[in-house]
Amino acid sequence: MSTDTRNLTLVQAVRDGLEIEMHRDEDVIVLGEDVGKNGGVFRATEGLYEEFGKDRVIDTPLAESGIIGTSIGMAAYGLRPVPEIQFMGFIYPAFDQIVSHAARLRNRSRGRFTCPLVVRAPYGGGIRAPEHHSESKEAFFVHEPGLKVVIPSTPADTKGLLASAIRDPDPVIFLEPKLIYRAFREDVPAGDHTVPLGEAAVRREGSDVSVYTWGAMTRPTVEAAETLADEGIDCEVIDLRTLSPLDRETIVESFEKTGRAAVVHEAPKTGGLGGEITAILQEEALLYQEAPVKRIAGFDTPVPLYALEDYYLPSSTRIEEGIREAVEFP
């Protein structure tokens, strides 16, 4: 692997990862609404049409079910399609294709066919977008056997996880936190770069409480942890990165060290991944538990429009308050 780096934003890392994989494997195909000449609504595919041509960077009609259905057919016959859904809130028409066909192809064919496709979609709130543009519905797909679900939080992880997803033999839902598409830059390995699926990253080591999060919530969680450190509360922040399969070993290992936990996500609290992580801790580390697991999440409502998003999304202040509750119990 090259030791050279490029200083990239998260969305530039998406584009870099796609370009590298398209050079590495001529079976990698990009398709979706406006991904070709336009370069995508967030410019994640900018220049790929000119570089690889219309047969590998394909503009599609506004029909999400057709985009994913076509991709499943491509994958079954040996290609590695990377379809883009413009916003996660537009993915519902494709839900049937994803769960009824992509997720089941290996099992249905008794292993004769796999479905190596990566569904890319910007997700989450915070950019003052209209209705259906701010959803965080990762739990829908984590619940479905046969799918992997990946959410990066840094540019380097974005490129590495995307490459691993494209090379995976089974379907991957790759959700990109658009709130931080251009929020910061970091050095990203140039050339070939992969990050294994299914492995969490410890963003901050600590001994008092384990805080689990992912995607756009990782940065405010780390900020909250640094603020609480001034109060003498030592947080360990775990960025899960892959939500299916979960890195249960890292989740449990951290909890066995701290005995207290909080989960931070922007999806609605009810039915969110916070509940699943709490169940894992109950099943595998109950005797280490010193306090109820605190869930710091979005509210059980549609994502509100515009300025009310600031109230809906967990802020570093709300995260601090939730972590204090976990630490100060009883």
Q: What are the pLDDT digits (tens) for 58-113?
A: 999 999 999 999 999 999 999 999 999 999 999 999 999 999 999 999 999 999 99
- The DSSP output letter for 113 is -
First and final C-alpha spacing in the chain: 50
Q: What are the pLDDT digits (tens) for 241-275?
A: 999 999 999 999 999 999 999 999 999 999 999 99
pLDDT attached to residue 89:
92
Model confidence, pTM: 0.96
> Which residues does the annotation mark as catalytic?
133
User: Six-digit token pair at 270?
Assistant: 């009810």
User: Six-digit token pair at 160?
Assistant: 């590495």
Mean pLDDT over residues 1-19, rounded? 91
Amino acid code (one letter) for 80: R
Q: What are the pLDDT digits (tens) for 287-323?
A: 999 999 999 999 999 999 888 998 999 999 999 999 9
Cα gap 244→247, rounded to integer Å: 8
* CA quadruple 134, 139, 143, 147: dihedral sign: positive
Residue 1 clears pLDDT 70, i.e. is over it: no
pLDDT attached to residue 133:
86
Cα gap 199→187, rounded to integer Å: 21
132 — pLDDT class (breaks 50, 70, 90): confident
How far is CA 280 from each of CA 143, 162, 201, 220, rounded to the nearest angstrom?
Answer: 15, 27, 18, 24
pLDDT attached to residue 2:
54
Q: Which residues pair with 263 in a beta bridge?
A: 212, 295
Average pLDDT, the chain: 96
Mean pLDDT over residues 193-222, rounded? 98
Cα gap 200→220, rounded to integer Å: 18
